[in-house]
């Protein structure tokens, strides 16, 4: 019996083993990202309900034992989990789609990171994929239209030039208004932004409110831009090569495109005949726009090669890049060379260290001239003399002129129009040299070597408690050279000169950081305590030589006279203590408090330290039980913050006073004693030991929202930002020997609203369409001007258009007369003497009705601050094709476009009114003193448009390549300005100080770029 039972058991076991062997089999497959079909390593593959699992390898491949009816689950953080029922398939391939509810899950904040759902401050984020597919030369160009409240203005469009960047308006009058730049934990000067390669960037975070920025204390008044570069990652080394080549052209002004033919047609229509000068211009036969000659366009090309990889313990990332940008202006040329090395090593479970080193070299030849001064020249003037123009030259006055020489307007005077001596005609309106000679015969270069880096060691003291010690900083060496040749000026060799300067700056940072990150049940707490010490040492030297008789030897030693020289050395020290506590309960109730104390050598003995506290709270309402199961609402969070930041950086056009404003400073002076001249020293300022930081107090209230699994998501922020303790130069009694002194007085307020709206319109295995809409408003108000409210100032005494700084109004407002009507052409002295010329005067309104035009009839005639800055981006992906475009614009700002006076020759006497015949002359004023040149600076631009195609992996894998993408892209393909705006670039305003904001005189044009590019990963 026992034997029978044993045999039955054995047979049953054998049968069960046979059946089990028949049911179980191995399935293989590949997991890719659905949006771009890239192999996806590290995906968890699990048989649901069991511990049987696998992980995809570097190429996205996996293998797992299954049986029919099993459910395979594919999951990865930030992507939608997918399940597949096994039905005897031998191969199961899956494409994972990004989970909209978990995008931007980790955000870099000051001295740490935080999950997006726990953020209580106003922080904008730009991910790498939003930047490195934009074919631009600098990182600041790539940030345009990427974050609500971040205003990036191309105030100079020369190749390699910096942008003007502000966050939530302008709050300082004599201090810095731009944001603090932090790259990989190192605080850098804003100029570094142009030297960072966009391909190296992993993410950009913008700390907009005082609560999030207060951890940076006295340098965060204008917000903070944090750039994190790419790190290494575990796995075999991945190589990336990105390149693009394109052509840039200037977007020209139709209003400034003067034409001889058009001018003569208007003259004929008005008078019925051509004047003698117009007949002469017809005979000369030259009609070429100076825009075409000066805006010559150029190529741009970029090459980037990186390697990323490492083991479980050590990971690295290194890259090399080269950029060459020829700009759109004649002589404009910019070259940039970058290297980067970043490594992190875990020695054991408790200790790790790392290093990050990023040197760059830039070589730049600049456009040395004023665009408005060059382009105001007459279109009948040739650049060089040829066989045609030489026959019109006045050889009695200019006997040495030859074919090939630069042509000057005076060369064409005293021409015998009819060949009988009856009519000698002059064409010239200026004695200046040829416009292109002003640029081409000057050689202005700038060479920069920059390097920043950081070395750190981190030790785990206990579970959740880490101590990090780091040493970092940056070094800059800038060398500038400007040679003005003997042909660059109408005065010839007497104006030839050479100026050479060098600036070196060393910044050293030591930092100790203690971080505690722990969970206690439903409570999460993160604590940061730190201290840092920074030194800044700057040296500057310059010398100018004159007296050159030719251009053969362009060195200081060849200059007979050293006409000017300058040198200085500056030291600055900053000692800081800071801390922050972040707390959350069940990820629903959130709070953060921080405090920073900064001690700076810049400020007075009585106020060495400044203290900058901040606090913020948040409530994730969507995580409450009554909303947890909502199919409609996926995110709903209320945020509120209050905090203080400061400003220690002055901008008063004197580097010595900016560095030591609280001390009594002396400069070299000369004094006459009888017949002798003695050298000595004299005070250059008044000491003020009570000087302290400018302070910003900001309140921010916001709501984050998301619907339908965050298919529709966004944020709405409302803020009030008040700057007080402003550093102002206030008038004082001249008995002191000075007209003004630097004190802490005054206040400015900025109020605004920011909206971010993101939608995933369509998403599936083959097609995805997303839209991002950003908009921000800001209202600027001068609250307290330290007793100087109503101050009226100008930029140029020769062309003294006025600004007013009035409490209750924006910091800076345009001031002047209101135009009533134009002066009829019949009263202009000689309206057609110059091509494209316009009358310099207009009739203005008698605002107070007293029958007299005087200062009482002046009023505020505009302001330079836009009412709305916006952008809208759309991204489409269909299988291997990607297409995207971004529109960006500004509305409501104005400029005082002084360029009109130059291009239209307002100041030429031929454009005066006839004093013998013109009526109502008491009501006439020059246009520059009126709203005639106050122009709407609104614009709409197609900032980027890109079309790309990613080759099938089955094709490129045969070549050992993981991914290959080819694309075509364009920047500013469409750029429309407001009616009545005549200039080249409504953002190209001159830096004449906050009190004279919106002053435009020439400026570089907007560049349109079309490029072809290639991205290869292998």
Look at residue 14 and tell me whether its pLDDT is greater than 70: no
Cα 439 to the chain's mean position, in Å?
27
Mean pLDDT in the chain? 91
Distances (CA, A) of 348 to 311, 344, 459, 465, 771: 13, 12, 10, 16, 45
Where in the chain do CATH 2.60.40.1120 domains reside? 23-98
Q: At what angle do helices 260-271 and 276-284 cross, to 10 degrees?
A: 150
Query: What's the confidence (pLDDT) of residue 13?
Result: 39
pLDDT tens digits for 833-847? 999 999 999 999 999
Distance CA 318, CA 355 (A): 12
**625 Cβ contact partners less than 8 Å away, ≥ 6 residues apart:** none
Question: CA quadruple 718, 115, 33, 304: dihedral positive or negative?
Answer: positive
Cα 182 from chain centroid (whole Å)? 14
**18's tokens:** 């046979």
> Would you give the DSSP letter of residue 817?
B
The span from the CA of 121 to the CA of 101, in Å, is: 19
- Give whole-number Cα distances, 329 to 299, 332, 1002, in Å: 11, 5, 13
Q: Give the pLDDT confidence score for residue 555 in this predicted structure.
A: 94
Neighbouring C-beta atoms of residue 38, cutoff 10 Å: 16
Give me the mean pLDDT over the 619-631 stretch. Answer: 88
| 985 CA to centre of own chain | 15
Residue the block writes with tokens 């123009």: 389
Contact 581/613 with Cβ under 8 angstroms? no
Cα separations in angstroms, 335 against 96, 132, 136, 377: 41, 19, 13, 31
pLDDT bin (cut points 50, 70, 90) of residue 605 is confident
Cα 216 from Cα 17, distance rounded (Å)? 68
For the chain, what's the residue count? 1018
Measured at the CA of 259, the angle between CA 406 and CA 296, to 5 degrees, comes to 55
CA-closest candidate to residue 166, choices 994, 873, 944 = 994
Local confidence band at 48 (pLDDT 50, 70, 90 cut-offs): confident
User: Which range among 359-363, 515-519, 764-768, 782-786 shows the weakest confidence by mean pLDDT?
Assistant: 764-768
For 947-985, how does the pLDDT look when each residue is reduced to its tens digit (9 = 90+)? Answer: 999 998 778 777 888 889 999 999 999 999 999 999 999
Residues near 507 by beta carbon (within 8 Å), at least 6 away in sequence: 187, 188, 473, 474, 475, 534, 535, 536
Out of 168-182, 189-203, 486-500, 661-675, which region has the weakest mean confidence (pLDDT)?
661-675
Q: In whole angstroms, what is the distance from residue 557 CA to residue 559 CA?
A: 5
SS3 content of the chain, % helix, strand, coil (to 5): 15, 50, 35
Helix runs in 113-225, H state only? 139-142, 210-213
Instruction: Tell me the pairing of strands 442-462 and 351-366.
Output: antiparallel
| Residues 95-133 pLDDT 10s | 988 775 554 478 899 999 999 899 999 999 998 776 767
Position 65 pLDDT exceeds 80: yes
Lookup result for tokens 């054991």: 348
User: Residues near 106 by Cβ (< 8 Å), separated by ≥ 6?
Assistant: 113, 114, 115, 116
CB 599 within 8 A of CB 574: yes
Nearest to 918 by CA among 1009, 834, 1011, 843: 843
**Percent of all residues in the chain with a pLDDT value above 70, rounded to a whole number:** 97
The contacts of residue 713 (CB under 8 Å, 6+ apart) are: 100, 634, 635, 704, 705, 706, 707, 757, 758, 759
CATH 2.170.130.10 in the chain: give the residue spans.
106-233
Q: What is the mean pLDDT of residues 734-760?
A: 91
- The contacts of residue 737 (CB under 8 Å, 6+ apart) are 683
What H or E segment, with its residue span, contains residue 687? none
How is residue 68 written in tokens? Answer: 């029919």
State yes or no: pLDDT of 136 exceeds 90: no
Q: How far apart are the C-alpha atoms of 138 and 158, rounded to whole Å?
A: 12
Alpha helices (runs of H) in 441-509, residue ranges in sequence order: none
Q: Is the dihedral of CA 874, 322, 166, 865 positive or negative?
A: negative
Burial 763-782 (b: 16+ CB within 10 A, else e): beeeebebebbbbbbbebbb
- Asked if pLDDT for residue 734 goes beyond 90, the answer is no
Q: Provide CB contacts within 8 A for 521, sequence distance 6+.
A: none
The CA-based dihedral angle spanning residues 1012, 309, 319, 226, taken in that order and rounded to the nearest 10 degrees = 90
> Per residue in 627-660, pLDDT tens?
888 888 989 999 999 999 999 888 888 888 888 8
Q: How far, in Å, CA of 429 to CA of 410, rounded?
A: 8
In angstroms, the CA 398 to CA 928 distance is 36
Q: How far apart are CA 262 and CA 245, in angstroms?
A: 37
CATH number of this structure's domain 23-98, picked from the four choices 3.40.50.2300, 2.40.50.70, 3.40.50.300, 2.60.40.1120? 2.60.40.1120
Beta strands at 694-707 and 666-673: parallel, antiparallel or unpaired: unpaired
Widest pairwise Cα distance in the chain: 146
- HEC readout, 714-727: EEEEEEEEEEECCE
> Which helix (H) or strand (E) is 316 found in, with range?
strand 314-325
CATH of 106-233 among 3.30.70.270, 2.60.40.1250, 2.10.109.10, 2.170.130.10:
2.170.130.10
Q: What's the token pair of residue 130? A: 């939003």
Tell me, what's the pLDDT at 991? 87
Per cent of the chain over pLDDT 90 is: 73
Euclidean distance between CA atoms 250 and 193, whole angstroms? 24
Q: What is the pTM of this model?
A: 0.87
CB 902 within 8 A of CB 372: yes
d(CA 318, CA 320) in angstroms, rounded, equals 7
DSSP labels, 568-597 = EEEEEEEEEEEEEEEEEETTTEEEEEEEEE
Helix ranges (H only) for 493-639 are 625-628
E-strand stretches of 367-422: 415-416
The pLDDT of residue 6 is above 50: no
Backbone angles phi, psi at 20, to 5 degrees: -65, -40
Burial 471-484 (b: 16+ CB within 10 A, else e): ebbbbbebebbbbb
Report whether pLDDT(852) > 50.
yes
Q: What is residue 147's three-state secondary structure?
A: coil
Is residue 321 within 8 A of residue 341, CB to CB? The reply is no
Let me know: does 542 contact 566? Beta carbons within 8 Å: yes
Reported as type and span, the H/E element at residue 655 is helix 655-659
Strands of the sheet containing 61-67, edge to edge, are 61-67, 24-33, 94-96
pLDDT per position as a tens digit, 204-227: 999 999 999 999 999 999 999 999
Distance between CA atoms of 294 and 289, rounded to whole angstroms?
A: 9
Contact partners, residue 674, CB within 8 Å, separation at least 6: none
Which of 53-62, 336-345, 713-722 bottoms out in mean pLDDT, i.e. has the lowest? 53-62
Supply the DSSP symbol for 384: B
Task: Give the mean model confidence (pLDDT) for residues 1001-1016.
Answer: 93
């Amino acid at each position: 019996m026992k034997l029978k039972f044993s045999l039955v058991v054995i047979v049953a076991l054998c049968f069960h083993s046979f059946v089990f062997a028949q049911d179980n089999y191995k399935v293989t497959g590949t997991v890719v990202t659905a949006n771009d079909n890239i192999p996806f390593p590290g995906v968890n593959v699990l048989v649901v309900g069991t511990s049987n699992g696998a992980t995809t390898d570097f190429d996205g491949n996996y293998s797992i034992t299954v049986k029919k009816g099993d459910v395979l689950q594919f999951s990865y953080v930030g992507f939608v989990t997918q399940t597949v029922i096994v039905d005897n398939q031998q191969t199961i391939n899956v494409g994972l789609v990004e989970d909209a509810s978990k995008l931007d899950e980790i955000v870099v904040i000051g001295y740490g990171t935080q999950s997006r759902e726990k953020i209580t401050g106003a922080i904008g984020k730009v991910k790498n994929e939003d930047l490195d597919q934009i074919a631009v030369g600098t990182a600041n160009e790539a940030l345009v239209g990427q974050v609500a409240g971040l205003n990036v203005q191309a105030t100079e469009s020369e190749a390699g030039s910096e942008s003007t960047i502000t966050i939530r308006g302008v709050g300082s009058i004599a201090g810095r208004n731009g944001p603090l730049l932090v790259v990989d934990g190192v605080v850098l000067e804003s100029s570094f932004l142009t030297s960072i390669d966009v391909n190296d960037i992993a993410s950009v975070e913008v700390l907009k409110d005082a609560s999030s920025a207060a951890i940076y204390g006295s340098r965060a008044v204008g917000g903070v831009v944090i750039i994190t570069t790419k790190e290494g990652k575990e796995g075999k080394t991945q190589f990336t090569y990105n390149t693009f080549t394109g052509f840039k052209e200037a977007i020209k002004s139709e209003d400034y495109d003067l034409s001889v033919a058009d001018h003569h047609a208007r003259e004929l229509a008005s008078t019925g005949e051509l004047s003698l000068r117009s007949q002469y211009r017809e005979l000369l036969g030259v009609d070429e726009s100076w825009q075409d000659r000066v805006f010559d366009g150029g190529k741009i090309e970029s090459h980037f090669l990186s390697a990323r990889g490492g083991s479980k313990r050590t990971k690295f990332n290194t890259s090399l890049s080269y950029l060459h940008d020829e700009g759109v202006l004649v002589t404009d040329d910019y070259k940039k060379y970058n290297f980067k090395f970043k490594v992190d090593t875990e020695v054991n479970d408790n200790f790790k260290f790392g290093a990050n080193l990023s040197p760059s070299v830039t070589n730049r030849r600049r456009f040395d001239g004023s665009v408005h001064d060059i382009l105001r020249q007459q279109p009948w003037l040739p650049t060089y003399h040829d066989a045609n123009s030489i026959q019109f030259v006045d050889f009695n006055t200019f006997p040495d002129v030859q074919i090939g020489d630069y042509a000057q307007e005076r060369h064409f005077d005293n021409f015998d129009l009819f060949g009988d001596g009856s009519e000698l005609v002059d064409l010239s309106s200026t004695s200046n040299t040829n416009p292109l000679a002003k640029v081409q015969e000057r050689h202005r270069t700038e060479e920069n070597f920059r390097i920043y880096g950081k070395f750190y060691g981190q030790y785990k003291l206990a579970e959740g408690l880490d101590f990090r010690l780091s040493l970092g900083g940056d070094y800059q060496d800038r060398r500038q050279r400007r040679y003005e040749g003997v042909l660059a000026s109408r005065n010839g060799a007497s104006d030839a000169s050479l100026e050479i300067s060098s600036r070196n700056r060393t910044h050293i940072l030591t930092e100790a950081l203690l971080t505690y990150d722990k969970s206690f049940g439903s409570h999460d707490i993160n604590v940061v305590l730190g201290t840092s010490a920074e030194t800044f040492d700057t040296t500057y030297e310059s010398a100018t030589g004159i007296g050159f008789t030719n251009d053969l030897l362009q060195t200081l030693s060849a200059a007979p006279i050293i006409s000017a020289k300058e040198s200085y050395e500056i030291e600055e020290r900053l000692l800081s203590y800071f801390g922050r506590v972040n707390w959350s309960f069940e990820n629903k109730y959130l709070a953060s408090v921080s405090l920073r104390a900064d001690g700076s050598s810049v400020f007075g003995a009585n106020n060495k330290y400044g203290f900058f506290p901040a606090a913020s709270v948040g409530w994730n309402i969507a995580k409450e039980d009554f909303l947890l199961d909502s199919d409609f609402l996926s995110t709903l969070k209320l945020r509120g913050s209050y905090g203080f930041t400061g400003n220690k950086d002055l901008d008063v056009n004197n580097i010595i006073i900016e560095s030591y404003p609280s001390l009594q400073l002396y400069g070299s002076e000369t004094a006459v004693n009888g017949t002798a001249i003695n050298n000595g020293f004299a005070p250059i300022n008044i000491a003020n030991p009570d000087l302290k930081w400018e302070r910003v107090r900001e309140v921010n209230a916001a709501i984050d929202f998301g619907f339908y699994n965050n298919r529709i998501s966004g944020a709405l922020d409302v803020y009030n930002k008040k700057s007080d303790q402003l550093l102002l130069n206030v008038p004082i009694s001249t008995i002191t020997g000075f007209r003004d002194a630097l004190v802490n007085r005054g206040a400015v307020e900025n109020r605004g609203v920011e909206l971010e709206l993101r939608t995933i319109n369509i998403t599936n295995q083959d097609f995805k369409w997303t839209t991002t809409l950003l908009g921000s408003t800001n209202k600027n108000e001068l609250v307290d001007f330290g007793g100087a409210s109503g101050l009226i100032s100008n930029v140029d005494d020769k062309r003294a258009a006025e600004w007013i700084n009035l409490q209750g109004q924006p910091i800076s407002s345009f001031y002047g007369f209101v135009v009533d009507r134009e002066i009829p052409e019949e009263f202009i002295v000689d309206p057609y003497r110059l091509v494209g010329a316009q009358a310099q005067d207009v009739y203005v309104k008698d605002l107070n009705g007293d029958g007299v035009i005087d200062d009482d009839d002046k009023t505020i005639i505009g302001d330079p601050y836009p009412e709305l800055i916006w952008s809208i981006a759309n991204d489409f992906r269909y299988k291997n094709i990607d297409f995207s475009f971004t529109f960006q614009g500004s509305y409501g700002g104005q400029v005082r476009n002084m360029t009109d006076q130059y291009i239209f020759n307002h100041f030429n006497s031929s454009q005066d009114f006839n004093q013998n015949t013109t009526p109502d002359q008491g009501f006439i004023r020059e246009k520059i003193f009126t709203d005639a040149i106050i122009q709407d600076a609104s614009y709409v631009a197609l900032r980027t448009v890109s079309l790309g195609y990613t080759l099938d992996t089955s094709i490129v894998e045969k070549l050992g390549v993981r991914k290959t993408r080819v694309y075509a892209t364009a920047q500013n393909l469409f750029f429309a300005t407001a009616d009545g705006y005549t200039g080249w670039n409504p953002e190209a305003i001159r830096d004449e100080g906050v009190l004279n904001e919106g002053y435009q005189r020439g400026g570089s044009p907007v560049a349109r770029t079309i490029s072809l590019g290639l991205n290869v990963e292998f």
